[in-house]
Each structure stands twice: as structure tokens, then as C-alpha cells.
Amino acid sequence: MTPDEFRLHGHALIEWIASYRERAQSGQFDVIPRTAPWPAGEPVQPGALRARLPAEAPQQPEEFAAVLADLDRLILPACTHWQDPRFFGYFPSNGLFSAVLGDLASTGLGQLGLNWQASPALTELEEVTTDWLRRMLGLSESWRGVIHDTASSATLVALVCARERTSDFAATARGLAASDAPLVVYTSSQSHSSVEKAALIAGFGRAQLRSIVVDEAFAMRADALEQAIRADRAAGLKPCAIVATTGTTATTALDPIADCARIAADHGLWLHVDAAMAGSAMIVPECRGLWDGIEGADSLVVNPHKWLGVSFDCSAYYVRDPQHLVRTMSSNPSYLRTATDAVATSYRDWGVPLGRRMRALKLWFVLREQGVMGLQARIRRDLASARWLAAQVDAPEAQAAGWRRIAPVPLQTVCVRHEPPALCGDGAALDRHTLDWVGRINASGQAWLTPGIVDGRWIVRVAIGAEATQLQHVREVWALMRQTAEQAGG
Ligand code: PLP
């Protein structure tokens, strides 16, 4: 492709993306993909796109215009529309236009950060943008940031560092055999599955992962945490790390970070805080009490690729002491050595991959295009929408119709269940009812909600925060929920 052809197709693609966003954000698609003819078709089934694609790559070059045309013909009909204002599933994953352009600029520059020399701009922009974000989050100057792909990677790195600090860096030298006693990780029963995965990959083993009970607000119980640590120590095990969560996935519960930090300090454990989704809220000062005590943590992760508006993937990992990262993960083959190694940051030693792309560009674009105040306004809008919905569920009329709010609403997710009187006391029937009404809504394409299990029973999460979601869309989904569930419940 020549530069002129690139200009031609690039402009066409930008136009296509702008038009797609306009259509998605004005609700012109069903939120989930459906088979033609729209809107009457059935939800797309697994294999639908594969069946339409050739089994092999083309032998001869194709016209690029044909590739672009297939975005509409093949790809779009198999996409779930996360940018639709009626997307209330999982968590918000906003990719603001400025982030889209930042990603394009990053790929266009084609930088690869193997060390500072391989792309000075990549390293230094990452240092600066993670520091901007640190200030926005209200964190002290003692934190240093790095951008990972995901929170899962960041938590893995945290646990590997915890393992090394506890073993006095013996495991990096001699492997797991170096440990005279099994190392133990503590996390709440509500923490994200990535914590368990990280503990397994980091070599702790499932038997050494303690699932600490939670209180009525689904937050880790500090007394139970401390008891478990004492019991393990008495049994000859080595307590190593606590992974606390600010904003759990199911209900946005808030583990008591100050208590966890005190316990970690008293017992010499590493404290990692998973604020993957909720961390974005800390850019508004009134939310910072939700992770009170954060300065006592050793590491934390916030995903700007969730609620902040930076397109996936962009996960900001902060540590107090980067030397733990470097001592644990430093690799220094001759072909990567440069004269600046002693004075410049080498981010390859701060995580798993050697090659790193310029993710900081999209964060930089978003922070500059939105400004801190613009981002704060959007977070506050979503917090207010969630409070509005919680108030509707709590209102006497909704209560009389069987609606229950299942958890506190400190952030943007409202967890509900519809409990028709006829089903009270029959948990299995209640579960069927919940999955039935949420399934109907999702299959209709008029909204997307994700159910989850809390306290052994299915509930429905309404995760507010897509860029285009205004209060009006929350009003509409609440009306749809009432209509669907109350009809289904008889
Ligand atoms: N931690 C929490 C609290 C989450 O909600 C999620 C995503 O759902 C994750 C971690 C995993 O995020 P990532 O996809 O960046 O690994």
C-alpha cells in the first residue's frame, strides 16, 4: 500500500468508524448480534462468522476496498456493541475517539520499546502519563507507574514480586524448591478470578490460596483475614501476600484497605490492591474515601481501559518500589544493552513481555482531549445515574412489586433481583425466574445485562458507565426490566 493509498483507505476507515459510533451510540443496532433479517432475527450462534469466512488466506492480493467492505458485510453483524448506551453488561469498556486516534498514532509510529534507546518517546511518555494519572488518582509521589495490557498481568506481576520479597529473592535463584515452607496468598471470596489465576501461575498452588469470608456488604472481613494469617503461621506456613479489591466485579464491594494495610504491615505481607474497574472513580476526590489506606499498599492496579475512556488495552500498575520488579524480572542479554541502561527506565524489567507498544499515547490523547474535568464530569454522571436507579429499586412501589437491591451501590453498578411473592422461599425457582427475565432482555437486543451469582443465588448486575449512557437510558432499562420481569413472574 503506497502512502497515497493509505491516505485514501485511512480516510475511508475513519469515516467508517465515526459512522459506526454514531449508529451504535444512537441505538441503531441490537446490542447483541442477531442473524438477518434485523430486527426479527435470532441471536447469532457460535460459529456464525467462521462459517462465512474462507478457510485459507487469499493467495493473491485483494483490493483493500473489498476488505473494508467486509467490515460491514461480515464483521459488524458478529459484534456485540459495547459502545451502545444500552450496554449495561460486565463493566464499561469505553474507547473514546481520542483513544482510537491514539491507538492509530501508536501503530502508525510503529514503535517497539525493548529498552529506552529503542524508543525514548515510548518510555518517557509512559513515565509522564502514568505520573499524570497518579496525581489524578490522588496518590502520593511515592508511586511509580507502568502500563500493562491487563489487570490480570499486573496482579500476576504483583504476586511474583510478593513471592520474591517473602523468599528474599530465593525463588528467582533456585525456583520454588527454594522455599522451606509453602507461601500463602489471601484474598476475599469476592475477588476477581484473575487473582486465583495469578496465584496459580506464580506457583503458589490452589491449596495456598485462602478465600477470606466477606461481611454483609461483600467486603473482606479484616478479622477473618488476620485469623487466617495467624493460623497459617502457627501451622508452619509462610503468609506472603494479600490481594484486596476496591470495587469487586460482582457487586463493587470495597475491601477495608486501611485494615488490610495494617495487617500486611504487622505480619510482613505484600498488599496488592485490585482497583481495576473502580480505580477510575478516584479521579473524583469525593470517592477517594472508598480506598482509604491505599498509601499502605505495595502495589495497585487501575484499568483506564474500563471506565476512564481509554480503549482496551491499557492497565496502569503502580508500585512503591520498582526495584522489586527489576530484581525479579530483569533480563539483560548483550543485544539489549545500551549506554543509557544505568540512567534510563527499562520497562521490560517491570513486567512479562520484552516488546512493548506505545500504549501511553492513547492515555495521553484522552487525558489531553478530555481534561481532568471532562473525565470527572463523566464519572460523576454515572455515579448519579447509579444512585438514581438504586433509589428506584428501593422505592416502596418497586419493593411491593418484588424488587430487591442485593448490595450497596458505592459506584456505578446496581445489583438487583426480582422476587415475585409466588416464588419466595423457592431458591431454584427464583434462579430460573432471574435467568429467564434477564435472558429475555438480552435476547431482545434492547439492552445487555450480565447476571452473576451472589450468596449462592443468581442476581442481575446493571453496570452503568458506557460513554453514551445518559440517565434517560437508565430510565429506559429500568422500565424494560420491570416490564419483562414482572410479566415473566406472573
Ligand atoms: N479485577 C477486577 C475487579 C475486574 O472487575 C476485572 C475485570 O472484569 C479484572 C480484574 C480483570 O481485568 P483485565 O481484563 O484487565 O485482566
Instruction: Give me 92's grid cell.
Output: 464499561
Q: How many A from CA of 451 to the centre of ligand 1?
A: 16
Q: Cβ(93) to ligand 1 under 6 A? A: no
Q: How many A from CA of 276 to the centre of ligand 1?
A: 5
Q: Cβ(190) to ligand 1 under 6 A? A: no
Give pLDDT, residue 42: 79
Give pLDDT, residue 75: 94
Instruction: Give me 73's grid cell.
Output: 458485510
Give pLDDT, residue 405: 97
Give pLDDT, residue 36: 67
DSSP strand pairing (413-418 vs 403-405): antiparallel
Q: Cβ(150) to ligand 1 under 6 A? A: yes
Query: Which whole-number Å values give the CA distances from 171 to 167, 202, 246, 321, in the listed order?
Result: 6, 11, 29, 19
Q: How many A from CA of 50 to the centre of ligand 1?
A: 28
Question: Coil, helix or strand for 427?
Answer: helix
Instruction: Give me 437's grid cell.
Output: 427475565
Give pLDDT, residue 18: 97
Q: Cβ(192) to ligand 1 under 6 A? A: yes
Q: How many A from CA of 486 to the centre of ligand 1?
A: 32
Q: Cβ(188) to ligand 1 under 6 A? A: no
Q: Cβ(277) to ligand 1 under 6 A? A: yes
DSSP strand pairing (315-319 vs 144-148): antiparallel
- Hey, which of 82, 93, 152 would you mutate to test ligand 1's pocket, going by the most ligand atoms within 8 Å of its Cβ? 152
Q: How many A from CA of 160 to the centre of ligand 1?
A: 18
Mean pLDDT split into 10-residue runs, the chain, 490 residues: 96 96 91 71 86 95 94 92 96 94 97 93 97 98 97 94 87 73 95 95 93 97 98 96 97 98 97 98 98 98 97 96 86 87 89 93 98 98 98 97 96 97 90 95 93 95 97 98 88
> For residue 247, which atom of ligand 1 is closest to its CA?
3
Q: How many A from CA of 106 to the centre of ligand 1?
A: 24
Q: Cβ(194) to ligand 1 under 6 A? A: yes
Q: Cβ(249) to ligand 1 under 6 A? A: yes
Q: How many A from CA of 156 to the centre of ligand 1?
A: 12
Contacts 24+ apart (CB under 8 A), 450-453: 450/88, 450/89, 450/90, 452/249, 452/250, 452/415, 453/250
Q: How many A from CA of 453 to the centre of ligand 1?
A: 17
> For residue 153, which atom of ligand 1 is closest to its CA?
16
Among all chains, which residue has been given the C-alpha cell 486516534? 101
- Hey, which of 192, 252, 315 would you mutate to test ligand 1's pocket, going by the most ligand atoms within 8 Å of its Cβ? 192
Instruction: Give me 189's grid cell.
Output: 471470596
DSSP strand pairing (270-274 vs 299-302): parallel
Q: How many A from CA of 319 to the centre of ligand 1?
A: 18
Distance separating alpha carbons of residues 104 and 51, to the nearest angstrom: 30
> For residue 248, which atom of ligand 1 is closest to its CA?
3
Distance separating alpha carbons of residues 386 and 375, to the nearest angstrom: 17
Q: How many A from CA of 313 to the centre of ligand 1?
A: 12
Q: Cβ(151) to ligand 1 under 6 A? A: yes
DSSP strand pairing (448-454 vs 413-418): unpaired
Residue nearest atom 14 of ligand 1, based on CA coordinates = 150
Q: Cβ(276) to ligand 1 under 6 A? A: yes
Give pLDDT, residue 33: 87
Half-sphere exposure of 386 (CA within 13 A, CB side): 26
Instruction: Give me 217's grid cell.
Output: 456488604
> For residue 90, which atom of ligand 1 is closest to its CA?
8
Q: How many A from CA of 259 to the centre of ligand 1?
A: 23
Phi–psi pair at 427, nearest 5 degrees: -60, -40
Q: Cβ(315) to ligand 1 under 6 A? A: yes
Distance separating alpha carbons of residues 423 and 207, to the nearest angstrom: 38
Per the document, the length of the chain is: 490
